[in-house]
């Protein structure tokens, strides 16, 4: 009997997983998700203080995720914000990372459109050989 990791299915699966992992869009979206989740976790650690029960304090991980999502995508509702010094340092890092990642995503999408337009202008687009 053939071992699973030597099987045809596993080789195809591994090849496809490597293709997906090397995809630029996948890498950017993974970076955004990591930034939101790790940032939400760290900010909730810095900001959770049982002594202070103000409604603007990030008290748990879910509020931290919400704050990080709103911050990364530069929406900035202002319903939650960090009040500790450590939380503010994390906030600056999340803000800069968010702007960089969203800019990278926008630049990648724009680059794809520009590349398509250049290919079309040079006559290098794909040719349909059937059904034309």
Over residues 91-129, the pLDDT tens digits come to 999 999 999 999 999 999 999 899 888 888 777 776 666
Query: Tell me, what's the pLDDT at 77?
Result: 85
Mean pLDDT calculated for residue range 4-12: 76
**Integer Cα distance of 37 and 43 in angstroms:** 10
- Which residues, other chains included, contact 43 with Cβ-Cβ below 8 Å and sequence gap of 6+? 58, 64, 67, 68, 82, 87, 90, 91, 94
- Is residue 83 predicted with pLDDT exceeding 90? no
Lookup result for tokens 């996948």: 26
Q: Do residues 64 and 5 touch, judged by C-beta distance below 8 A? A: no
pTM for the whole structure:
0.76
Residues of 27-52 as b/e, b for ≥16 C-beta within 10 angstroms?
A: ebeebbeebbeebbebbbebbbeeee
- Is residue 66 predicted with pLDDT exceeding 70? yes
């Amino acid at each position: 009997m053939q071992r699973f990791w030597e099987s045809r299915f596993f080789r195809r699966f591994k090849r496809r997983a490597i293709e997906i992992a090397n995809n630029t869009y996948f890498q950017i979206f993974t970076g955004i998700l990591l930034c939101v989740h790790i940032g939400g976790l760290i900010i909730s650690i810095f900001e959770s203080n049982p002594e202070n029960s103000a409604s603007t304090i990030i008290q748990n991980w879910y509020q931290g995720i919400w704050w990080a999502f709103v911050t990364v995508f530069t929406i900035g509702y202002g319903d939650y914000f960090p009040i500790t010094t450590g939380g503010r340092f994390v906030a600056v890092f999340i803000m800069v990372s968010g702007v960089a990642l969203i800019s990278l995503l926008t630049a990648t999408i724009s680059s794809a459109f520009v590349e398509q337009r250049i290919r079309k202008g040079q006559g290098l687009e794909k040719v349909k050989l059937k059904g034309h």
